[in-house]
Amino acid sequence: MLKVKNLSCGYEKEFVLKEINFKIKHGEFIGIIGPNGSGKTTLLKAITRVLKFKQGEIILEGKNIAKMGFKELAREVAVVSQDCRVGIMTVEEFVLLGRIPYYGKFQFLETGKDKEIAEKYMTLTDTFKLKDKLMTRISEGEKQLVFIARALAQKPKLLLLDEPTAHLDITHQVAVLDLIRKLTRKLGLTAIMVLHNLNLASEYSDRLIMINSGKIRKAGTPQEVLTYLLIEEVYKTVVVVKKNPFSLKPHILIVSEEERKKKYSP
């Protein structure tokens, strides 16, 4: 589905990502983890060509994205970001923005087919009931589901999500991630998601890519990546790693400074 080969990119003269290499299969749910400033969001920007890369290439289903037009790329890749500006519009109007990559040369308004597709994905994300509400009048959890509905209206094959659970309570976190996993399992959608919460990344991802200081430190299953040694090395904090009793995936427990002092004080 996606091959990233020897990718290096950054801002002006600073290289943020250096010699990144990985492959992703169709239908995989990939979690991108790493400390703040490690290059996670930069990677998503490179995949969408928002950020030009200095060297390397990104191949999407056999096509070099550098040779794809932006409209063509928007039909293949959709993004759910943290800083999406909504403006004064209804939920339905916002979701219909996802149909713009399919507009004809002199088309300025959506068609009946566009509305059918928007309705389909609002129904799938349980946001159809909100369609006439203003985006500024719905909750953060509802907004995140609407963002996903708009991205799905693009009918992409690859969905990129940058911290989709930020600022959400646990109920909405689970709802968003359950939905994304359902999309990968039932619709064959491929998803790459940046997450700070290691336990959520562990529970929902098929594989993880851990980035540190602009390089891939480790890639593999959650069991392979989320060891206490790697977490302590990369995040510079003491943790205990246990197994989730249901999924058997790694579950990370933090250890406060106070507790560390109690344990190691003479």
Question: So what CATH class is 2-221?
Answer: alpha beta
Buried/exposed 32-64: b ≥16 CB within 10 Å, e otherwise: bbbbeebbbbbbbbbbbeebebeebebebeeee
Using DSSP's 3-state secondary structure scheme, residue 128 falls into helix
Give every strand in the sheet of 158-162, ordered side by side: 77-80, 158-162, 190-194, 29-33, 207-212, 215-220
Tokens linked to 27: 């239908």
What is the pLDDT, as a whole number, of residue 104?
73
* pLDDT for the residue 34: 95
SS3 62: coil
Yes or no: say if 89 and 135 are a contact pair by the CB < 8 Å rule: yes
**How many contiguous H segments (helices) and E segments (strands) does the chain have?**
10, 12
| pLDDT for res 200 | 96
Going residue by residue through the chain (266 aa), what tens digit of pLDDT does each one get?
999 999 998 887 676 899 999 999 999 999 999 999 888 989 999 999 888 888 899 999 999 998 988 889 999 999 998 766 777 899 999 999 999 888 776 666 678 889 999 999 999 999 999 999 999 899 888 988 999 999 999 999 999 999 988 888 898 899 889 999 998 988 889 999 999 999 999 999 999 999 999 999 999 999 999 999 999 999 999 999 999 999 999 999 998 888 877 766 66
pTM metric for this prediction: 0.90
Domain boundaries along the sequence of the chain = 2-221
What pLDDT is stored for residue 123 in this prediction? Answer: 94
- The whole-angstrom separation of Cα 137 and Cα 81 is 19
Let me know: does 26 contact 188? Beta carbons within 8 Å.
Answer: yes
Cα 52 from Cα 50, distance rounded (Å): 7
